[in-house]
């Protein structure tokens, strides 16, 4: 199903499925896709879905509809297109397309032929050998034209490798600038990216041919930067004094730049930055310089191609991070909404218990009478009311305490603190804690510990909580069942090297279709009683110990959970790791402090 995913704007993280044939998008509530953006019109645009074809049509909006940065009245949307409405940016994803060739079913994969004319593999090469075709230096016997073409192809091949091996923008740009300096004899260079909020170019990576002079500042002509960004064209200046485009500023001559190449990082939708390299000389040496130029038109063309590849990688990385952030925000919103619902239910229970306590206190005051005489029966009823209210408050205190502990356990990665412990003893403590609750629910608990259970290393507090979650679910599942029984046992298997806690109940069971989702956070079949955190927390704790949780269930007949731990723990005990911190190299000054642009006419 086609969809729109908001990657920028107030609704960031929201996804809208385009399930109808005609969908309106705008600020008003009656739109199928409501965008909370003051610069979006009430009825901004209309999206039409006709099979696999999805199109957008502007509805005379105030600020226009833009597809991939271009204003449109109507346009066909393709997967990956960006729809800009006001300040909001939406990413379009189309439905999965069918095979282009409907005759693909006519392709057969057959076994060896039976007529004896089997095909014969005459040669094969590995991926590494294939990569050497472009990695190896050019053959000296090749013609100059062929050698130059091979060199250019090698550069583009190295660029494609560089942009495909990282999602870190600074690391990507560092690889690009290093590759450029290996290829061309430049003295200085830097890569600048646009600030998304201000639109200004900001240095991210700098490079100097004399690498030990890291403190030397690079002054870049703002004249060149403005021209490149405004015209989306790469420029090569081989003689600054004679370049009429830059006479007004004279900044290139003043900066001692003999040659410079500056190219735009043109992405799919906009210029995301620039790549700049130059050769620097003093003005006196510029006037006397007679040597051949280091930069040529071929360098400019290849720099434009490299910058384009780098820009696409920067865009992809930025969109990836934006989508991750949007998904994170959506998850945070879902978490807040779910937890708010559970906390509201708990507070309602606390409020109900508090009301009974207050009612009992008032009845007790009335039982005293104005003359000080005590009505014993009324006082006893008042105390019973207060005790009932307190029991309700106490149960809800336990619920909110359990919720907080589950949240803390699930929300962060933690290293268990293993100590030599008795698994039977930990499970027995859990059952003792659950005994009162089971009796109130009319559930019988049977305990069958293994006699040969050895002392093993695990985090007793964490395992206690994990087993408690499963036993609690088992008791709740037996509510109103006949028979209502929970059987808890421990087992030891020396061949597999594992100990296990087995919790079996005769409750309502779990439907086969729900088994896959029981370990999904916030998914609960208990209604308002469940938080959907218990089983995910249990699974997380056992995985942290190197164990596993398995479940078998038959709807209407009961469920069996098997919680396994390794007999020999691979966890590190506290203090096993050295507290020594690894110190990195001395921090260098950030590139933005060492690169500056010079305004027109500056000296």
Calpha distance 174→162 (Å, rounded): 10
pLDDT winner (highest mean) among 124-128, 226-230, 470-474: 470-474
Mean pLDDT of 411-429: 86
Q: Which CATH number fits domain 3-93: 2.60.200.20, 3.40.640.10, 2.70.98.90, 3.30.360.10?
A: 2.60.200.20
Phi, psi torsion values for 329, nearest 5 degrees:
-65, -40
Parts of the chain belonging to CATH 3.30.565.10: 419-566
The pLDDT value recorded for residue 592 is 53
349: left (phi > 0), else alpha (psi -120 to 50), else beta? alpha
Average pLDDT over residues 383-397: 88
Question: With 70 as the cut, is the pLDDT of residue 577 above it?
Answer: no
Amino acid 222: pLDDT: 82
Residue that wins the pLDDT comparison between 41 and 398: 41
Report the chain's terminal Cα–Cα distance, integer Å: 60
Please compute the mean of the pLDDT values over residues 536-551 and round it to a whole number: 90
Which CATH code for domain 166-412?
3.30.450.40
**113 vs 57, which has greater pLDDT?**
57
Q: Please give the pLDDT value at position 367.
A: 83
pLDDT at 212 (0 to 100): 43
Q: In the predicted model, is pLDDT for residue 133 greater than 90?
A: no
Residues of the chain with CATH 3.30.450.40: 166-412
d(CA 596, CA 218): 6
Higher-pLDDT residue of 126 and 14 is: 14
With a pLDDT cut of 70, the percent of the chain lying above it is: 73
The topology (CATH level 3) of 419-566 is: Heat Shock Protein 90 (3.30.565)
Q: Measured between alpha carbons, how far is 110 from 145 in angstroms, rounded to an integer?
A: 45
Q: What is the pLDDT of residues 548-566, one digit of tens each?
A: 999 999 888 899 999 999 9
Q: In which band, very low, low, confident or very high, does the pLDDT at 15 lie, cut at 50, 70 and 90?
A: confident
- pLDDT at 179 > cutoff 90: no
pLDDT score at 470? 93
Distances (CA, A) of 305 to 148, 191, 420: 16, 15, 63
| Predicted local confidence at residue 575, as pLDDT | 45
**473 burial via Cβ count (<10 Å: 0-12, 13-18, 19+):** buried
Report long-range pairs for 294-299 (Cβ below 8 Å, ≥24 apart).
Answer: 294/184, 294/185, 294/186, 294/259, 295/184, 295/186, 295/236, 295/238, 295/259, 295/260, 295/261, 296/236, 297/236, 298/148, 298/152, 299/184, 299/236, 299/261
Please give the structure tokens belonging to residue 550.
């398995």
Query: Is the pLDDT at 473 greater than 50, yes or no?
Result: yes
Instruction: Indicate the pairing of strand 65-67 with strand 70-72.
Output: antiparallel
Rg (CA), the chain: 35
Average the pLDDT over 201-214 and give the result.
Answer: 75
As given in the structure block, the two tokens for residue 431 are 């059952």
Q: Is the pLDDT of residue 584 over 50?
A: no
pLDDT for the residue 582: 37
Question: What pLDDT, on a 0 to 100 scale, did the predictor assign at position 375?
Answer: 82
Most confident of 71-85, 329-343, 400-414, 563-577: 71-85
Rounded mean pLDDT, 455-484: 90
82-85 and 595-598 strand pairing: unpaired
How much is the pLDDT for 524? 66
Residue 414 tokens read as: 């933690």
Q: What is the pLDDT of residues 263-317, one digit of tens each?
A: 999 888 788 899 998 886 655 555 555 555 677 788 888 888 888 888 888 888 8
**Residue 219 confidence (pLDDT):** 73
pLDDT at 102 over 60: no
Q: What is the pLDDT of residue 400?
A: 81
Between the CA of residue 326 and those of 321, 322, 387, what are the distances in Å?
Answer: 8, 6, 48
CA 60: distance to chain centroid?
37
pLDDT band at 131 (very low <50, low <70, confident <90, very high): low
Residue 322, Cβ density class (10 Å: 0-12 exposed, 13-18 middle, ≥19 buried): middle
Q: What is the pLDDT of residue 364?
A: 85
Residue ranges matching CATH 2.60.200.20 in the chain: 3-93
pLDDT of residue 95: 76
- Computed over every residue of the chain, the mean pLDDT equals 78
Angle, CA 275 vertex, CA 269 and CA 281 arms, to 5°: 155
């Amino acid at each position: 199903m086609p969809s729109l995913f908001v990657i920028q704007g107030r609704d960031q993280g929201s996804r809208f499925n385009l399930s109808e044939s005609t969908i309106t998008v705008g600020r008003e509530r009656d739109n199928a896709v409501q965008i909370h953006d003051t610069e979006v019109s009430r009825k901004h645009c209309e999206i039409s879905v006709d099979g696999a074809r999805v199109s957008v049509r502007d509805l005379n909006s105030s600020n226009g509809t833009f597809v991939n940065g271009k204003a449109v009245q109507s346009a066909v949307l393709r997967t990956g297109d960006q729809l800009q409405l006001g300040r909001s940016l939406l990413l379009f994803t189309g439905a999965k397309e069918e095979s282009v060739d409907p005759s693909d079913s006519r392709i057969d994969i057959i076994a060896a032929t039976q007529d004896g004319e089997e095909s014969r593999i005459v040669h094969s090469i590995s991926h590494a050998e294939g990569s050497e075709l472009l990695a190896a230096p050019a053959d000296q016997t090749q013609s100059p034209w062929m050698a130059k073409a091979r060199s250019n192809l090698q550069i583009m091949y190295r660029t494609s490798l560089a942009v495909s091996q990282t999602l870190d923008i600074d690391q990507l740009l560092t690889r690009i600038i290093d590759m450029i300096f290996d290829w061309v004899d430049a003295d200085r260079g830097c890569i600048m990216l646009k600030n998304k909020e201000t639109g200004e170019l900001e240095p991210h990576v700098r490079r100097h041919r004399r690498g030990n002079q890291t403190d030397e500042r690079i002054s870049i002509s703002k004249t060149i930067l403005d021209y490149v960004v405004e015209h989306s064209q790469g420029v090569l200046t081989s003689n600054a004094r004679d370049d009429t485009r830059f006479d007004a500023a004279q900044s290139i001559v003043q900066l001692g730049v003999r040659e410079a190449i500056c190219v735009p990082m043109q992405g799919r939708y906009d210029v995301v930055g620039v790549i700049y390299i130059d050769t620097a000389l003093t003005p006196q040496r510029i006037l006397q310089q007679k040597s051949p130029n280091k930069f040529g038109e071929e360098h400019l063309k290849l720099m434009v191609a490299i910058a384009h590849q780098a820009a696409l990688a920067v865009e992809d990385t930025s969109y990836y991070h934006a989508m991750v952030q949007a998904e994170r925000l959506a998850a945070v919103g879902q978490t807040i909404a779910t937890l708010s619902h559970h906390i509201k239910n708990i507070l309602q229970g606390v409020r109900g218990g508090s009301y009974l306590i207050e009612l009992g206190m008032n009845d007790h005051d009335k039982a005293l009478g104005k003359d000080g005489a005590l009505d014993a029966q009324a006082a006893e009823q008042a105390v019973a009311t207060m005790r009932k209210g307190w029991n309700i408050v106490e149960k809800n205190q336990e619920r909110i305490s359990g919720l907080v502990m589950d949240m803390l356990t699930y929300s962060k990665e933690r290293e268990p603190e293993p100590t030599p412990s008795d698994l039977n003893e930990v499970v027995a403590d859990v059952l003792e804690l659950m005994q009162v609750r089971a009796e109130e629910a009319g559930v019988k608990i049977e305990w069958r510990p293994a006699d040969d259970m050895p002392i093993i290393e695990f985090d007793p507090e964490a395992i206690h909580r994990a087993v408690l979650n499963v036993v609690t679910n088992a008791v709740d599942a037996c509510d109103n069942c006949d028979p209502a029984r929970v059987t808890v046992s421990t087992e030891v298997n020396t061949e597999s090297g594992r100990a296990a806690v087995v919790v079996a109940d005769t409750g309502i069971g779990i439907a086969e279709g729900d088994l896959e989702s029981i370990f999904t956070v916030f998914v609960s079949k208990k209604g308002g009683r469940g938080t959907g955190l218990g089983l995910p927390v249990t699974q997380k704790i056992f995985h942290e110990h190197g164990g596993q949780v398995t479940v078998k269930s038959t709807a209407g007949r009961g469920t069996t959970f098997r919680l396994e731990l390794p007999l020999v723990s691979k966890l590190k005990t506290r203090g096993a790791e050295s507290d020594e911190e690894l110190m990195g190299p001395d921090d260098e000054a950030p590139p933005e402090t060492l690169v500056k642009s010079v305004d027109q006419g500056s000296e």
